[in-house]
Amino acid sequence: MADRRPRVYLAGPDVFYPDAPAIAARKREICARYGLEGCFPLDNVVALDAPTPAENAFRINDANIELMNSCDAIIANMTPFRGPGMDGGTAFEMGYMRAQGKVIVGYTNDGREYAVRVKNTSRAIRARGNGTFEDQDGLLIEDFGLADNLMMHCGAMRSGGDVVVGNAGALELQTSLEAFEHACALLAEKLRA
């Protein structure tokens, strides 16, 4: 890592946002300010002209896997996506990088703990005994004071990284890059250490 900037895979549901290319450009720019080379999943986009949708999906999958293999670290957008939890594809990528021993820094624009978000979006909650709660479907509400499921939050910590918890407000949930910038600063520092 001495001769080149560390390459950072920029995971997140950002690829589904209305202005994904603009967000990619801003993220790359912020990365550069911290001496990092930001690699966005869309960078590797291949022609999506395969005969079937599934074949196009494989092309994207293969490109993302190759991009992750070429990166030294990952910054993962853990902001809730279509429910109280983070985007599953991003969680997959955190796990993938974790197994490769790479540093993971997660960030979220939602300042609430996972358990609070679940309680806020549940139609009903019930006490399960020994201080735990379940939602209307009888599903245990994981409550360790973390930003999301413990595999992701603890996984980031154990990787030598961290989780940056921002608090962007509903209108800026998709657009704020404040927590992302903190994540870049933190990652740059960790990679220098």
Q: Give the shortest CB-33-to-a copy of itself separation in angstroms.
A: 27
Q: Which H/E stretch holds residue 163?
A: strand 162-165
Asked if 181 interacts with a copy of itself (CB under 8 A), we say no
Q: Give the shortest CB-119-to-a copy of itself separation in angstroms.
A: 12
**Cα(84)–Cα(153) distance, integer angstroms:** 15
Asked if 47 interacts with a copy of itself (CB under 8 A), we say no
**Cα(180)–Cα(166) distance, integer angstroms:** 9
Nearer to a copy of itself by C-beta: 32 or 150?
A: 150
**What tokens does 6 get?**
């560390």
Nearer to a copy of itself by C-beta: 38 or 84?
A: 84
Strands 73-77 and 103-108: parallel
Report the DSSP beta bridge partners of residue 68: none
**What tokens does 78 get?**
């853990």
Asked if 1 interacts with a copy of itself (CB under 8 A), we say no
Alpha carbon dihedral 89, 95, 98, 104, in 10-degree steps, equals: 40
Of 8, 10, 94, 184, which one interacts with a copy of itself (CB under 8 A)?
94
Using CB under 8 A as the binding rule, the residues of this chain from 137 to 166 that contact a copy of itself are 137-140, 142-146, 148-155, 157-158
Q: Give the shortest CB-37-to-a copy of itself separation in angstroms.
A: 21
Asked if 112 interacts with a copy of itself (CB under 8 A), we say no
Of 37, 43, 134, 178, which one interacts with a copy of itself (CB under 8 A)?
134
The CA distances from residue 45 to 29, 59, 176, in Å, are 19, 8, 25
Strands 103-108 and 162-165: parallel
**What tokens does 176 get?**
């704020």
* Site residues (vs a copy of itself, CB under 8 A): 13, 15-18, 52-54, 56-58, 60-62, 64-65, 81-89, 91-100, 118, 121, 134-135, 137-140, 142-146, 148-155, 157-158, 174
